């Protein structure tokens, strides 16, 4: 068995967390490939190391004094090392590396991106030294040496396929490998960071490259919940999810991690496990390609999000007009507006758009173009909509889910503005008014998770 374990920012925020991480690694000899984030916040008012590094880079660029910020960064690692009883030589190495990035002339075009990656890089050094101090055979492995080759896009690097062959060779490496997350190197050796969810991406790439049996993603929650815990108190935990379900849940309000970060692992069909660094005995949530025991007709999760609007267009005899839908969507494409869904009736069509894609100033332009170019009878915009998604593979193959979910809305006296079922095989989507979201979700949770109704 080969496992890749990734530890997020809160899991490596200070020495005591690093001790927990070390214990988790040592408790399972299959955990050979370790990916780390940069140290996160130790308290609500704390600053993440990566944010300090960004500040450092910006001040340096503006020719402002950088000593204070640099001292804060070094101090974070110095305190860790002291509390872990490690040699100060590691801090000297971290300091030299940061100075190297800060004053290297050849990095001047891409300095900020390289600096941003120093939190992960430094933490990987600390963790490997700590594991060594405990008698483990542990090695810090730079992403360059690991074989993570990426495109030349600072802050948005994409892994190149040729990486995987190189990474596969890591399987022959002895002992535990500690690899900093969040970055890779271009073919000509330039450091590039990944987009959002960067350390998760590194973990997924390594898992795919070494053909891991499991990719463990350690966070600060016990598992993925079946509903937003801000809406329902102590909601049920999900023990198993499929990739497809995860993808649909992530769409509307599930923020355990960026689901797109996991694409490399998904493509290689490697199971992903979400676990809690503070509670590693808990089983967590498994995310798999296919469910071992397919369950039909079950809702596995309820996702919800606010911040949508609906653009409604009606035109008599619309459905006789070949190309009307296409022309309407073309106007949105022209204006750079990404839409979510476009359900249509006989003589009308609604386009669901995220609010931030459709600011008030664009509204005027779009409405005017629709009126003039498409000669419609009516075009209106309804703001303040929320979307709720019921997710579960095979859910759509039973008639119970439709009737029970609509009953749940009726129970909560919530009017359904929109239902979109059948376009996805994994989910049903409901549109309602934003201010009714909480009671609707609570009612759905009650019906599908508390009553344990067999559907």
Sequence ranges of the binding site for substrate: 50, 120
The whole-angstrom separation of Cα 206 and Cα 147 is 9
Nearest to residue 256, comparing CAs of 10, 3, 426? 10
Residue (124 or 352) nearer to a copy of itself, CB: 352
Binding residues are 6-9, 50, 120, 219-220, 225
Shortest approach of a copy of itself to residue 439 CB, angstroms? Answer: 12
The whole-angstrom separation of Cα 25 and Cα 36 is 12
Residue 317 interacts with a copy of itself (CB under 8 A)?
yes
Residues 203-222 that bind a copy of itself (CB under 8 A): none
Secondary structure letter of residue 451 according to DSSP: S
Shortest approach of a copy of itself to residue 353 CB, angstroms? Answer: 11
The whole-angstrom separation of Cα 164 and Cα 208 is 7
402-413 exposure pattern, b = at least 16 Cβ within 10 A, e = fewer: bebbeebbeebe
Shortest approach of a copy of itself to residue 367 CB, angstroms? Answer: 18
Residues 4-63 that bind a copy of itself (CB under 8 A): none
The whole-angstrom separation of Cα 246 and Cα 260 is 10
Shortest approach of a copy of itself to residue 415 CB, angstroms? Answer: 5
Residue (47 or 342) nearer to a copy of itself, CB: 342
Among 38, 49, 149, 429, binds a copy of itself (CB under 8 A): 429
Residue 358 φ/ψ, nearest 5 degrees = -140, 65
Among 86, 386, 428, 437, binds a copy of itself (CB under 8 A): 428
Residue (217 or 310) nearer to a copy of itself, CB: 310
Task: Give the list of residues 6+ apart from residue 352 with CB closer than 8 angstroms, or none.
Answer: 308, 309, 310, 339, 340, 341, 342, 343, 385, 387, 418, 431
Strands 214-219 and 3-7: parallel
Shortest approach of a copy of itself to residue 312 CB, angstroms? Answer: 8
Shortest approach of a copy of itself to residue 409 CB, angstroms? Answer: 5
Reported as type and span, the H/E element at residue 402 is helix 400-411
Among 50, 219, 285, 420, binds a copy of itself (CB under 8 A): 420
The whole-angstrom separation of Cα 261 and Cα 157 is 12
Residue (23 or 327) nearer to a copy of itself, CB: 327
Residue (168 or 251) nearer to a copy of itself, CB: 251
Tokens of residue 453, six digits:
């109704």
Residues 371-400 that bind a copy of itself (CB under 8 A): 396-400
Shortest approach of a copy of itself to residue 402 CB, angstroms? Answer: 4
146-147-151-154 Cα dihedral, nearest 10 degrees: 20
Residue (11 or 405) nearer to a copy of itself, CB: 405
Nearest to residue 183, comparing CAs of 221, 153, 214? 153
Place of tokens 């989910």: 427
Shortest approach of a copy of itself to residue 244 CB, angstroms? Answer: 8
Shortest approach of a copy of itself to residue 135 CB, angstroms? Answer: 44
Question: Could you tell me if 35 and 7 are in contact, meaning their C-beta atoms sit under 8 angstroms apart?
Answer: yes
Among 56, 414, 444, 447, binds a copy of itself (CB under 8 A): 414
Binding residues for ATP are 6-9, 219-220, 225
Residue 409 interacts with a copy of itself (CB under 8 A)?
yes
Shortest approach of a copy of itself to residue 447 CB, angstroms? Answer: 11
Triad 269, 272, 277: Cα angle to 5°: 165
Q: At what angle do helices 118-133 and 89-103 cross, to 10 degrees?
A: 160
Among 326, 360, 452, 454, binds a copy of itself (CB under 8 A): 326
How far out from the chain centre does Cα 176 lie? 26
Task: Give the list of residues 6+ apart from residue 433 with CB closer than 8 angstroms, or none.
Answer: 384, 385, 386, 414, 415, 417
The whole-angstrom separation of Cα 339 and Cα 356 is 11
Among 289, 330, 371, 446, binds a copy of itself (CB under 8 A): 330
Nearest to residue 184, comparing CAs of 171, 172, 166, 169? 166
- Secondary structure of residue 304 in the 3-state scheme: strand
Residue 231 interacts with a copy of itself (CB under 8 A)?
no
Interaction mask 331-360, a copy of itself, x per CB under 8 A: -xx--xxxxxxxxxxxxxxx----------
Residue 413 interacts with a copy of itself (CB under 8 A)?
yes
Residue 260 interacts with a copy of itself (CB under 8 A)?
yes
Residue (120 or 245) nearer to a copy of itself, CB: 245
Secondary structure letter of residue 149 according to DSSP: B
Residue 415 interacts with a copy of itself (CB under 8 A)?
yes
Reported as type and span, the H/E element at residue 206 is helix 198-209
Residue (128 or 443) nearer to a copy of itself, CB: 443
Binding positions for a copy of itself, rule: CB under 8 A: 244, 247-248, 251, 260, 263, 310, 314, 316-317, 319-320, 322-323, 325-326, 329-330, 332-333, 336-350, 396-400, 402-403, 405-407, 409-410, 413-429, 431
């Amino acid at each position: 068995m080969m496992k890749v374990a990734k530890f997020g920012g809160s899991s490596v925020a200070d020495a005591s967390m690093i001790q927990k991480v070390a214990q988790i690694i040592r408790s399972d000899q299959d955990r050979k490939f370790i990916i780390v984030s940069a140290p996160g916040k130790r308290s609500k008012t704390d600053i993440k190391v990566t944010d300090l590094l960004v500040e450092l880079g910006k001040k340096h660029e503006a020719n402002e004094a950088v000593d204070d910020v640099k001292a804060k960064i070094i101090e974070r690692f110095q305190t860790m090392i002291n509390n872990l009883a490690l040699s100060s030589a590691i801090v000297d190495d971290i300091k030299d590396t940061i100075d190297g990035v800060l004053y290297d002339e050849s990095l001047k075009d891409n300095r900020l991106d390289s600096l941003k990656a120093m939190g992960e890089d430094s933490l990987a050094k600390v963790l490997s030294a700590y594991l060594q101090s405990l008698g483990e055979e542990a090695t810090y492995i730079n992403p360059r040496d690991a074989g993570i080759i990426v495109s030349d896009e600072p802050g948005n690097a994409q892994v190149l396929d040729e990486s995987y062959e190189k990474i596969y060779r890591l399987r022959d490496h002895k002992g535990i490998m500690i690899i900093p997350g969040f970055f890779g190197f271009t073919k000509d050796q330039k450091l590039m960071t990944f987009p959002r969810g960067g350390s998760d991406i590194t973990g997924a790439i390594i898992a795919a490259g070494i053909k891991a049996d499991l990719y463990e993603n350690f966070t600060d929650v016990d598992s993925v919940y079946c509903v937003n815990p801000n809406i329902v108190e102590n909601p049920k935990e999900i023990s198993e999810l499929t990739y497809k379900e995860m993808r649909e849940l992530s769409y509307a309000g599930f923020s355990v991690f960026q689901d797109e970060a996991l694409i490399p692992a998904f493509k290689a069909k490697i199971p992903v496990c979400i676990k809690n660094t503070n509670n590693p005995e808990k089983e967590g949530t498994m995310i798999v390609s296919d469910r071992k025991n397919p369950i039909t007709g079950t809702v596995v999760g309820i996702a919800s999000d606010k911040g949508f609007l609906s653009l409604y267009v009606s035109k008599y005899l619309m459905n006789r007009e070949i190309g009307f839908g296409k022309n309407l969507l073309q106007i949105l494409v022209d204006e750079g507006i990404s839409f979510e869904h476009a359900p249509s009736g006989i003589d009308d069509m609604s386009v669901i758009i995220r609010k931030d894609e459709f600011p008030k100033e664009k509204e005027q332009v779009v409405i005017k173009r629709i009126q003039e170019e498409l000669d419609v009878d009516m075009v209106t915009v309804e703001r303040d909509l929320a979307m709720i998604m019921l997710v579960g593979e095979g859910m759509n193959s039973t008639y119970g889910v439709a009737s029970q979910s609509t009953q749940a809305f009726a129970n909560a006296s919530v009017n359904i503005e929109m239902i979109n079922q059948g376009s996805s095989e994994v989910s049903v989507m409901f549109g309602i008014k934003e201010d009714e979201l909480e009671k609707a979700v609570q009612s759905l949770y009650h019906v599908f998770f508390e009553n344990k109704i067999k559907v």
